[in-house]
Structure 1
Amino acid sequence: MKLKILLFIIICPLGFLAACHEVPAKSNAVLEAEAYLESQGYELVSLVGEESLLLDTKILMDPGYSQIWQVQPFNSADYLDQPLTTVEFIIQRHPLELLYKSQKTRIIVYLHQNQVIGGWSLPVFSSEVLVGTVHSLDGKTAEEVQ
């Protein structure tokens, strides 16, 4: 009997704490990016993260970013000195999976004022290593976007 009371005393507070644990709400940018990707037929596997990006001339001129700007459907100069939000996901059912025989795709969505304006994608292999060139959100190369 004492064991039952002791278990009750231990389990009740733990159950209460678990019920009160709040799941952090997703930002509007994440919700918008999720809705966009799902509307394209992609299956969301996981949310990697969300960050802010101020698109300035230093970033636009950085050779490391040149491939990224080449696959955008927007003119990057139109967003110069404006804050963007990047939301990164791991997804499935993307055209790169067939091209690279990968199981997942890493995708970065760019948003301006919570509206999707572009992004880029890369295949992900079982080791989570990023391989290949940067592609547009829908898997096109820079030549195909132009």
Structure 2
Amino acid sequence: MRTLCYILLLAVVLLAACDENQQKSAAVLEAEAHLENQGYTSISVIEEKSLLLTKQDLKDPSYAPIWQVQPLDSNQYIDKELTSVELIVQNHPLERLYNSKKTRTIVYLHQNKVVGGWSFPVTSSEALVGNVYSLDGKTAEEVKQEELSPK
């Protein structure tokens, strides 16, 4: 009888784990796969939301640091719907730089394809203060330098 209870409990746990993956959207699955391909381990999904990028967003000084670390021409996504997926990851380069154990990432997708994003270290429970980095942990200057260097 006890063995049967353990088997039933195991089946319920496995079904719950499978159901969790099925509830993730295509955007979340694509964002996780992209980050895992870069060598990061996805710990948790914080939020998924839709946003419409406007010219005003690109001119807004509070958002300028975010758009400066993008590996894309932000102008090509003006008035297009983007999906923003926020995740906590581990094994990110910022962990060594800031001696942290986790990194918060925001992945931008257009039609479920990753087009950019940004990251910052999780050093405390307080609000983000300081620089943001590209998804791979580069500063705006490093991203700009990569754009200028010959391929």
Pick the TM interval, shorter chain. 0.7 to 0.9
Of 66, 74, 86, 1:76 maps to 74
Asked whether 1:145 is paired with 2:143, we answer: yes
Matched, 1:133 2:128: no
Rg bigger for which structure? Answer: 1
* Residue 38 (structure 2) aligns with: 40
What residue in structure 1 maps to residue 112 of structure 2?
114
Q: CA deviation at 1:128?
A: 5.3
* Corresponding residue pairs, total: 130
The answer for the alignment partner of 2:103 in structure 1 is: 105
Percent sequence identity is 62
Alignment partners' CA distance in 1, 2:143 and 2:84: 20
Deviation of 1:129 after TM superposition, in Å, equals 4.3
User: 1:16-31 to 2 correspondence within 5 Å?
Assistant: 23=20, 25-31=23-29
Q: Structure 1 CA distance, aligned partners of 2:129 and 2:99? A: 12
SS in 1 for 2:82: strand
- Aligned-partner SS, 1:78: helix
Other-structure match for 2:64: 66
Gaps of 5+ in 1: 1-14
> Residue 120 of structure 1 aligns to a residue in which SS?
strand
In the alignment, is the contact (CA less than 8 A) between 1:91 and 1:107 conserved in 2?
yes
Among residues 91, 94, 98, which one is paired with 2:92 in the alignment?
94
Q: Any gaps of 5 or more consecutive residues in structure 2?
A: 1-8, 145-151
TM-score of the superposition, structure 2-length normalised? 0.79
RMSD: 1.9
Alignment of structure 1 residues 45-56 onto 2, 5 Å: 45-56=43-54
